[in-house]
Structure 1
Amino acid sequence: MNDNDVHIRHRTADEWDDWYDTLLRAFGQAGPDEPAETRGLWRDLAEQDRSLGVFDGGEVVGTAGAFSLRMAVPGESVVPVAGVTMVGVLPTHRRRGLLTALMGRLLADARERGEPLAALTASEPAIYGRFGFGLASQRLRLAIPRHRVSVAAPPGAERIRLRLADPEQAAPACERLYAARVPLRPGMLQRGPGWERLPLLDPPADRGGASPLQCLLAEDRDSGRLVGYARYAVRPDWDGAGPKGSVLLRDLEAVVPAAHGALWGFLTDLDLTDTVIADSRPPDDPLLHLVTDVRRCGAELRDGVFVRPVDVGRALESRQYSSPVDVVLDVQDASCPWNTGRWHLSGDGKGACCERTGDPADLALTVRELGCAYLGGTRLTALAAAGRVRELREGALAEASR
């Protein structure tokens, strides 16, 4: 930043609308077109003391922020994470180092707050690798033709009762089930106060011709206990051959296999529909083993969450390891220089220790590769095959990758 009038500071409460409108313009959207429900929710969730603005004189020309979140990591622990969000710079102010300055401020702030990790979902993945964020998880998109694919009911499905419920009224019970699921899947986010409103957000202007949000509950017939739920909408459509509507799945969670199968069976058997579309399922969704023809499900892997350690030592100590690990890592980190150096990681399924060391390194990598491997979805051997991890001691790669 060379212009004397351009500076970065936290926005004030009364600067929210200008700040948010700048973000929308940076993404090619028009502020007045944003539904009031959406704008109001993000206003409530955005943390003022973590919302940075780039100001050129009195005009907001760039934005960036972070949410104080908690994320599940391997070992069923849930740790603090800086959820980087709302990053945008107006086209008139690109190529001035503003994004680099904003990211530097956000990461330094996360370190001061004691958050070992930062995470984000990327509008453009190519941007964030240079700031140390690595692709740590993927999501599965499905487009299931219901007249060609059916779902086999798993054992116990007869004990599941399905019923439609008002999404708002059912939300507290659904949130309790969601919370129970969080520690079991690395990368899943714990929802703090206010965040339970996000999966219910359903402004009519954003429905694209679909129905209002629907909520399907799966309950155990004997106990009445909630064991699963799905939120979805139906978008009607017709052609000369008849109905060809779509089921648009928002989210689906279940704590027993029978409920998972029953919910998917319902969604793939709705009258007047032709396709079930799910944009964000885990790559190992059990559905892939319940459908009669997985090839016809239109399965497509897409990028999910990008992760980067903010504090290498604390981050690697915060998770557990399925096999014993004892390795010295030579880490490079251009954005957070306090991470650069050699780290001795030792641990197993009970815990871990990661400290600075002067011992010779076994593996050399950047913090981006640590982010890729952190949640367990990417192996170090795969990164080494891409030339992104170097083995300095024979055998260390296989040992650490396990």
Structure 2
Amino acid sequence: MSAVADILMHAYAMTPADCLAWRQRLDARDLRLLRDGGKVAGTLVSIRKGQWFGGRSVPVVGVGGVGVSPLHRGQGTATRLMTRLVQEARESGAALSILYPATQPLYRRAGYEQAGARYETRVQMSALEMGERTLSLRAIESRDEAAIAACYTSVARFRQGWLDRSEFSWGRVRNPRSEPVHGYLVEGSAGVEGYVYLARRPLKDLKQELALTDIVATTPAAARRLLRFLGDHHSLGTEVVWYGGPDDPFLLLLREQSYSVKVYMHWMVRVLDVVSALEARGWTPGLSGSLHLEVTDELFPENQGRFVLEVADGVGRVKRGGEGRLRLDIRQLGPLYTGFQSAASLRSVGLVEADDASVQAAMALFSGPQPSLRDMF
């Protein structure tokens, strides 16, 4: 663990206090080490969770904390780490692996590709005085955690790409590494209808901004009450910042466009198992169709070859064979799968080979809202 802390301090410029907080949050069973000559040369964290696609939770392995000792850089250490990680992740039964890249070439060599984005939303606090106080609001207590998790799930399952959170992910919401977080919930006749977790970040001249680690509302009244609560900080506050997608419904409640939305970072996906990935996700109810794929994958022979995807009644079924009319590498299957890039867009830059009918079929089957992520990991 001492060697891991040293690697992370070099890789991410983390302070000793940050490393200690990171270690306290980590389940040691999720830590992976690569040794060279008896010394720890590299490390990463493998985190089991789910990710929502089409209203169904797809089993994924998230990758974080990838670091290589300064003495072992430029020797293929990170590539060896990632190759072994995706092999282990596939063996565990996960359909996908996801990560935020510090550098893309490394992860592309392991079969990952951009497949969605995490967006930063900043709202001027003065725009949040919305006059809604009908629902009660109180501080969150430990006994509320199950109800809050259910509240989150009821929203996240309809947000393409959001996490089906593990305890690790909830820990990042409730207890981030470097700042105290306070939680508040909104209650109505049916119980918890919304909540927010926030940190107050000091600025100059006694001002502050509110940094939200999560905000969710399941009713219009709860959404307005939460925004009103955030607006009540305007005497000393400047902005409220949170993360999610480009289509955040909270912004539709604002009178003016007193906000900015920008890409914070693109995340990447690696399809570990073609068949299980396509069959695990949900599909648009009432939509039916078929797609003949031909996939190449240098790492997993099981993913190589031709597959036929048949979609009906919100369910996908995959069988071997077919005509292979849409040809792509495993990397390009990632952004197609999440809906981040259409088959037409991928074909336009030479990353997919397909006839027009197959492109149109793929665009219909994989259509939906832009995939996004709220959580870091």
- Cross-structure match for 2:370: none
Deviations 1:111-145 (A, max 9, x none): 22221111112233453233222222222212222
Deviation of the 1:88 alpha carbon:
1.4
Say whether the 8 Å CA contact 2:82–2:107 is kept in structure 1.
no
Q: Work out which of the residue numbers 307, 312, 316 in structure 2 matches 1:348.
A: 312
Give the letter for the 1:261 counterpart.
R
Q: CA 1:125/1:264 → structure 2, altered by over 3 Å: closer, same or farther?
A: farther
Say whether the 8 Å CA contact 1:325–1:400 is kept in structure 2.
no
Q: Distance in 1 between matches of 2:307 and 2:319?
A: 5
Deviations 1:136-155 (A, max 9, x none): 222221222223x34657xx
Deviation of the 1:282 alpha carbon:
2.0
Give the letter for the 1:55 counterpart.
R
Q: CA 1:65/1:217 → structure 2, altered by over 3 Å: closer, same or farther?
A: closer
Q: Which has the higher contact order (CA 8 A, sep 6+)?
A: 2
Q: Distance in 1 between matches of 2:235 and 2:72?
A: 50
Q: CA 1:126/1:298 → structure 2, altered by over 3 Å: closer, same or farther?
A: farther
Deviation of the 1:371 alpha carbon:
0.9
Structural mapping, 1:305-324, within 5 Å? 305-322=267-284, 323-324=287-288
2:251 counterpart of 1:288: yes
- Cross-structure match for 1:18: 3
- Cross-structure match for 1:29: 14
Say whether the 8 Å CA contact 1:320–1:351 is kept in structure 2.
yes
Q: CA 1:186/1:298 → structure 2, altered by over 3 Å: closer, same or farther?
A: closer
Say whether the 8 Å CA contact 1:107–1:336 is kept in structure 2.
no
2:150 counterpart of 1:186: no
32-41 vs 313-322, greater mean Cα deviation:
32-41
2:28 counterpart of 1:57: no
The alignment partner of 1:184 has SS state of: coil
Q: Distance in 1 between matches of 2:75 and 2:84?
A: 16
Deviations 1:138-185 (A, max 9, x none): 2221222223x34657xxx5642223x155454343223223334332
Deviations 1:184-237 (A, max 9, x none): 32322223356533322156xx23xxxx322221111xx261100001122344
Say whether the 8 Å CA contact 1:67–1:84 is kept in structure 2.
yes
Q: Distance in 1 between matches of 2:263 and 2:169?
A: 26
Q: Work out which of the residue numbers 256, 259, 270 in structure 2 matches 1:297.
A: 259
2:210 counterpart of 1:247: yes
Q: Work out which of the residue numbers 281, 284, 289 in structure 2 matches 1:325.
A: 289
2:93 counterpart of 1:114: yes
Deviation of the 1:57 alpha carbon:
2.1
Deviation of the 1:53 alpha carbon:
1.6
Give the letter for the 1:160 counterpart.
L
Q: CA 1:310/1:132 → structure 2, altered by over 3 Å: closer, same or farther?
A: same
Deviations 1:284-335 (A, max 9, x none): 11122122222x4121123343222101111111123323231111212233
Aligned residues between the structures: 362
- Cross-structure match for 1:5: none
- Cross-structure match for 2:84: 105
93-102 vs 121-130, greater mean Cα deviation:
121-130
Q: Distance in 1 between matches of 2:265 and 2:168?
A: 26
Q: Work out which of the residue numbers 216, 221, 225 in structure 2 matches 1:258.
A: 221
- Cross-structure match for 1:171: 145
Q: Distance in 2 between matches of 1:327 and 1:214?
A: 48
Give the letter for the 1:106 counterpart.
L
Say whether the 8 Å CA contact 2:128–2:227 is kept in structure 1.
no
- Cross-structure match for 1:9: none
The alignment partner of 2:75 has SS state of: coil
Q: Distance in 1 between matches of 2:119 and 2:168?
A: 27
Q: Distance in 2 between matches of 1:130 and 1:287?
A: 38
Give the letter for the 1:254 counterpart.
A
Q: Distance in 1 between matches of 2:169 and 2:123?
A: 30
Say whether the 8 Å CA contact 1:37–1:201 is kept in structure 2.
no
Q: Distance in 2 between matches of 1:169 and 1:350?
A: 36
- Cross-structure match for 2:373: none
Identity of aligned residues (%): 29
Deviation of the 1:98 alpha carbon:
1.8
Q: CA 1:23/1:235 → structure 2, altered by over 3 Å: closer, same or farther?
A: closer
Say whether the 8 Å CA contact 2:125–2:240 is kept in structure 1.
no
Say whether the 8 Å CA contact 1:141–1:277 is kept in structure 2.
no
- Cross-structure match for 1:47: 29
- Cross-structure match for 1:134: 113
Give the letter for the 2:135 counterpart.
I
- Cross-structure match for 2:335: 372
Q: CA 1:183/1:299 → structure 2, altered by over 3 Å: closer, same or farther?
A: closer
Say whether the 8 Å CA contact 2:197–2:215 is kept in structure 1.
yes
Deviation of the 1:94 alpha carbon:
2.0
